[in-house]
Amino acid sequence: MRVLRLTWRQRSARIALAVLAVVAVLAVAGGAFAPDDPLAQHPADMLQGPSAAHLLGTDYLGRDVLSRLIAGTGLSIAGALEAVAAAMLLGVIPGVASVWLGRTVEWTTQRAADTLMIMPFTVFAIAVVGALGNGMHQAMLALGVLFAPLYFRVTRAAALGLKQAQYVEAAELMGASRWWILRTHVWGKILPTIAVTTAQTVGQALLVVSSLTFLGLGVQPPAPTWGGMLASDLGYLAQQPWAPLIPGAAIMITVGALNLLADAIRDSGAPTADELGKPPRAEGTAPALVTEDREPLNSPETQGRSANRATPSEDPELPSEDHANAAATVARTHIEQPEEAEHRVTTG
């Protein structure tokens, strides 16, 4: 919890939280602020620019854009949150379980995570919706399943490191139950990591949700969403070339705030997803946060460098490469610990 307190001290975190609070209020009580009915059509003022009556103009059916934007907040945000909640549930529990429940569980969960990582979001979501019916819950379940490996890897990496910690080993020796260890030693430690991942993932999920609603997946047409607004603006670019920028800006500001927040939590000491395992992956987006120390793969990848350092006479089988790399990138040393831990665990 210290991490969260430190986070609050940062100005960028407070700005991000303020923005997110506004978004949350709009999402929950949007109807109260909307100046007009988001579904009411005014055929007389189709495709109008901003005016006193319609602050952000009207769309091709004469509907008030501002009202649709506010009303769309709820569906877009709720969708992203639902996907992330599903991902957390499907990712965190197997992540911890894969460390403590033996090799069969470990192998199975890891291969499952591998498989989900290679599924392209939109194609998978289309398939799910095609098979299970076109609804928000089906679409978000699909996203949740695909985001789950992110949580799985982060949790697993954190838990692996902890399992090797001496106090955990001591507790095990003294006969503490797994459950007790999880509650006492593990949970509080992996929470900040999960918080960073969540802030990132909600942002990514929002982008994917807007892609899906843009395609018409998960929502029925009259209901407004940010992605759906973009889709309907697409047909009238000749008349209103600036119209897509409005929902686009709403998405950008929200995702930007989430990225800022994730950055702030990370700066306060929580190890990032990148450092712990996999970089986050999301449809059409790259994680914004880590500009400096983003290394998608841990050690072996940078080993071009260390390989060059090795003398020709050195036995190429020597495992020094990974370690040399760890030494070379001091910032990443604590990534290596889970790595090493993993080595030891798997060799029993």
AA letter at 283 = E
219 and 76 Cβ atoms separated by less than 8 Å: no
Q: Which is nearer to another protein, 178 or 309 (CB)?
A: 309
Query: Which DSSP letter does residue 185 get?
Result: I
Q: Which two tokens stand for residue 95?
A: 């992540």
Q: Which is nearer to another protein, 36 or 158 (CB)?
A: 158
Query: Which DSSP letter does residue 297 get?
Result: S
Q: Which is nearer to another protein, 73 or 122 (CB)?
A: 122
Q: Which is nearer to another protein, 36 or 205 (CB)?
A: 205
The label of the residue with tokens 């009259």 reads 222
Q: How many angstroms separate the first and last alpha carbons of the chain? A: 33
The label of the residue with tokens 């709720």 reads 78
- The least distance separating another protein from the CB of residue 1, rounded to whole angstroms, comes to 29
Q: Which is nearer to another protein, 36 or 257 (CB)?
A: 257
Instruction: HSE, CB side, 13 Å, CA atoms: give it for residue 268.
Output: 23
AA letter at 117 = M
How many whole angstroms separate alpha carbon 146 and alpha carbon 142?
6
- The least distance separating another protein from the CB of residue 260, rounded to whole angstroms, comes to 10
Give the helix, strand, coil percentages of the chain, each rounded to 5.
Answer: 70, 0, 30
Q: Which is nearer to another protein, 29 or 327 (CB)?
A: 327
**H or E element: which one contains 31?**
helix 11-33
Q: Which is nearer to another protein, 36 or 217 (CB)?
A: 217
Q: Is the dihedral of CA 210, 93, 95, 290 positive or negative?
A: positive
91 and 152 Cβ atoms separated by less than 8 Å: yes
- The least distance separating another protein from the CB of residue 196, rounded to whole angstroms, comes to 16
Within 10 Å of residue 340's Cβ, how many Cβ atoms?
16
- The least distance separating another protein from the CB of residue 231, rounded to whole angstroms, comes to 8
- The least distance separating another protein from the CB of residue 57, rounded to whole angstroms, comes to 16
The Cα angle at residue 46 between residues 42 and 47, in degrees rounded to 5: 140
- The least distance separating another protein from the CB of residue 35, rounded to whole angstroms, comes to 25
Q: Which is nearer to another protein, 198 or 302 (CB)?
A: 302
Q: Which is nearer to another protein, 25 or 123 (CB)?
A: 123
Long-range pairs of 297-304 with CB within 8 A, sequence gap ≥ 24: 298/332, 298/335, 298/336, 298/339, 299/323, 299/325, 299/326, 299/332, 299/335, 299/336, 299/339, 300/325, 302/328, 302/329
- The least distance separating another protein from the CB of residue 145, rounded to whole angstroms, comes to 9
- The least distance separating another protein from the CB of residue 44, rounded to whole angstroms, comes to 25
- The least distance separating another protein from the CB of residue 306, rounded to whole angstroms, comes to 6
